Amino acid sequence: MPHHDELLILARQMVDRNPGLQVEAELRRAVSTAYYALFHLLIDEATDRLVQIATIRHRVARTFDHTIMKKVCQEYADATAFGVGEYKIKKNGQTIPTALFNIAVTFVALEEARIQADYNLKADVTRAQAAADVGRVEAAFKNWLLVETHHATDDFLSELWCRGMPKRT
Amino acid sequence: MTAIEFTEKFEDMGRYRAVNGYENVTFVTRTRRRYPGRVHFRDGFCVRVEMDGGGDWSYPDQSPLNEIRLLLQFDEDKPLATAVDHGRVLFQQSPEREASKKEFLANFRVARNLFAHPQVDVDGRQDAVALERMLIRSAIWLTPKSVEAFNADQFPELGPDRQFELKSAVNRFQEVADQVPADAPATDVQFRNAAEAFTVMRDILAPYLSIPDEARKVEKALAEVGKEFPTWVINWDYELGSDSDDAAAVWVNVFADNSTAPIPQLGRYASDWTTKIRTSLTVAGIDRWPYVRVRTGDEHKARA
């Protein structure tokens, strides 16, 4: 089973076990693990498509940057509804399917939730919140199945990687 | 054992003074249920937390526990928020901590927002009794947390009469709030008495809790989205701030009814609301990214 699938199952288990008992550390780990499930899904798919030599994919995977991925996703998540089942990215007018839009929205939300869960002990993480965050990633994984072969997805994945590279002037 | 006696069993840096052994404690859950258990120590560090009939947290090699937060109950003291950090036991609030005006106003600001945003839906067909039941269900401001850290002496600028009026209202509110269980709604009488006292507090404290123009716009934009919340959403609140990238953000707390919220679908709803809120904010000319946090009303009321 791919690493990202295992992470998502683990995140769900952490939310569902000990219901009603206060184990906030476990809920925090669940949110963080759910984020990393989505993070690794996208990186896995991106390196599969963009890097032909399988043996160096893991090395390339390490070059993906959380902040840059969030910025790209924010651009996609800020798209406006355009007809049925499509959104238009404001910056370049590109149309993307709703499922890809939803994945981007989820990535932005979970990247922030992960940082809050890992580092902000002042803000508590409740079971409902952790369940919602894990549920968002589960929905994103289902959305992925709808768009993995869509041409806009290739652009999206390449942006996640290339946006962080310096451009020749 | 009192909370103070328990805290004195640890050095300033959180090491267990007796070095090895265990302490009998009572754990408190968010819904205020209590479970007995033990906290074990080795070489001054916490290595195991054991809850009778529940979880047992330890590493296979008995190394110090890390990143664990607990609520402990001692006698009738307020629950003691406790964190285990690399085996060291740290107390997040000293039992004898002095209340601060700033903290009280922050607590009351949240309560004020919740008081103003009950989700009573609706389609306009509810009769007066049904409407009151919905208001009571949404009254998650009716918790001792709403007036926590209040100290009348810190409001001398109000003058003696208003200061006394505020103190009396806080006392009346507190008296009711202490009687309402965290996992059950108030009675009709409790709700009315608390609402009356709350209204007095809100009016007196209004000058301390001004709402900036941008926040008013944000609130209006959120209220538009709130009209479409499902009936199991009982309240909402918001907070302006910045996210981890220092970008302007608005944190939106959506409170769900414990018994009717479709927990497995909360994620889908949270994503949907994020999109709608972003659109509504954009229409209002607000460039803040919305982050939606879903929690239940009981979870809010049970906050330590």
pLDDT recorded at residue A51: 92
* Of A160, A130, A156, A99, nearest in space to A29 by CA: A130
Give yes or no for a contact between B41 and B32, defined as CB atoms under 8 angstroms apart: no
- Inter-chain contact A131–B265, Cβ cutoff 8 Å? no
Give yes or no for a contact between A64 and A160, defined as CB atoms under 8 angstroms apart: yes
The pair of three-digit structure tokens given for residue B68, joined into one six-digit string: 């664990």
pLDDT recorded at residue B95: 44
Contacts of B39 (CB under 8 A, 6+ apart): B22, B23, B25, B46, B48, B49, B50, B89
Q: What is the pLDDT of residues B219-236, one digit of tens each?
A: 999 999 999 999 999 999
Residues of B in contact with A112 (CB under 8 A): 243-244, 249, 291
CB pairs under 8 A between A and B: 100
Q: Which of A101, A112, A138 lies closest to B291 in CB terms?
A: A112
For chain B, what is the mean pLDDT?
87
Distance between CA atoms of residues B289 and B247, nearest Å: 8
What secondary structure letter does DSSP report for A56? G
- Fill in the amino acid letter for B296: T
Chain B CA closest to residue A133: B267
- Share of residues in chain B with pLDDT > 70 (%): 93
Q: Which of B31, B268, B291 lies closest to A109 in CB terms?
A: B291
| Region B58-76 average pLDDT | 85
DSSP string, B57-84: EE-TT-PPP-SEEEEE--TTSPPEEEEE
Distance between CA atoms of residues B234 and B261, nearest Å: 10
The pair of three-digit structure tokens given for residue A17, joined into one six-digit string: 């076990």
Q: Write down the residue that tokens 């997040």 correspond to.
A: B92
Beta strands in chain B (DSSP E): 21-28, 34-42, 45-51, 56-58, 68-72, 80-85, 88-91, 233-242, 248-256, 289-296
Neighbours of A21 (CB within 10 A): 18
| Region B46-73 average pLDDT | 86
**Hey, what CATH class is B213-297 in?**
alpha beta
The pair of three-digit structure tokens given for residue A121, joined into one six-digit string: 């002990």
CA A7 → CA A3, A141, B268, distances in Å? 6, 12, 19
| Region A153-166 average pLDDT | 92
Neighbours of B282 (CB within 10 A): 15
Neighbours of B72 (CB within 10 A): 21
H or E segment and range at residue B108: helix B101-116
pLDDT recorded at residue B220: 94
Give yes or no for a contact between B28 and B14, defined as CB atoms under 8 angstroms apart: no
Q: Which of B51, B245, B271 lies closest to A67 in CB terms?
A: B245
Distance between CA atoms of residues A42 and A34, nearest Å: 13
Q: Which of B72, B295, B298, B300 to mutate to test the interface with A (most CBs of A within 10 A)?
A: B295
Give yes or no for a contact between A46 and A161, defined as CB atoms under 8 angstroms apart: yes
pLDDT recorded at residue B126: 63
pLDDT recorded at residue B124: 58
pTM comes to 0.74
- Fill in the amino acid letter for B14: G
Residue A18 has pLDDT above 90, yes or no: no
CA A3 → CA A33, A38, B230, B251, distances in Å? 11, 10, 36, 31
* Numbered ranges of CATH 3.30.300.30 in chain B: 213-297
Q: How far is CA B224 from the centre of its chain?
A: 25
Strand order in the sheet with B88-91: B56-58, B45-51, B34-42, B21-28, B68-72, B80-85, B88-91
Distance from B264 to chain A by nearest Cα, in Å?
A: 7
Distance between CA atoms of residues A98 and A102, nearest Å: 6
| Region B17-26 average pLDDT | 91
Q: Would you list the domain boundaries of chain A?
A: 3-162
pLDDT recorded at residue B98: 46
What secondary structure letter does DSSP report for B187? P
The pair of three-digit structure tokens given for residue A28, joined into one six-digit string: 């925090």
Binning pLDDT at 50, 70 and 90, where does residue A80 land? very high
Distance between CA atoms of residues A26 and B295, nearest Å: 16
Give yes or no for a contact between B16 and B41, defined as CB atoms under 8 angstroms apart: yes
Q: Which of B31, B68, B265 lies closest to A20 in CB terms?
A: B31
pLDDT recorded at residue B93: 56
Q: What is the pLDDT of residues B72-130, one digit of tens each?
A: 888 766 778 888 888 989 886 544 444 588 889 989 999 999 998 877 765 556 677 77
